[in-house]
Amino acid sequence: MTQKKLKKEVQNLTGLERATLCAQAAFDNKADDVVVLDVQGIASFADYFIIMSGRSSRHVQGLAQALETTMRSKRVSAANAEGINDGMWVLLDFDDVVVHIFYHEQRSFYDLEGLWHDAPRVEIDES
């Protein structure tokens, strides 16, 4: 992603600040159990994972759309979006931030937090 496409206020944002934007959008849209993992040095393809749950497949789809809209308003587009039509596990790839939105049962089955247990959790304030 070229820096010219980003609005001035987000041109110099760190991965953590972009992850915070995503987490705030998740909180604003009533996502359940939002977790931010710092995978720098552990994963070569991202710096942060955001994992959250939706209460229904429609809620999962709505969360994905809300996050895409929030990031697009900052001129940060998802390089890849998978699973939106099914609403069971949606993956949004914002380059250094990868967002996983699960329907509850899918989240416990795939257990990404367990898989990435070495990654420190980052606390994001819900305000």
* Whole-structure pTM value: 0.86
* In-domain check, residue 3: no
> What pLDDT shows up at residue 79?
73
* 9 inside domain: no
Domain harbouring 31, CATH code: 3.30.460.10
Is residue 25 in a domain? yes
In which residue are the tokens 């995978």 written? Answer: 39
Q: What is residue 8's predicted lDDT score, i.e. its pLDDT?
A: 53
Is residue 127 a part of any domain in this protein?
A: no
pLDDT of residue 14: 84
**Residues in the chain with pLDDT values less than 70:** 1-12, 127
Residue 35's domain comprises 14-122
The verdict on residue 42 lying in a domain is yes
Q: Taking the alpha carbons of 12, 14, 18, 23 in that order, is the dihedral positive or negative?
A: negative
How far apart are alpha carbons 68 and 55 in whole angstroms?
19
What's the pLDDT at 12? 65
So what's the pLDDT on residue 1? 41
Tally of domains in the chain: 1
Amino acid 61: pLDDT: 96
Radius of gyration of the chain, Cα coordinates, nearest whole angstrom: 14
Q: Please tell me the predicted confidence (pLDDT) of residue 2.
A: 44
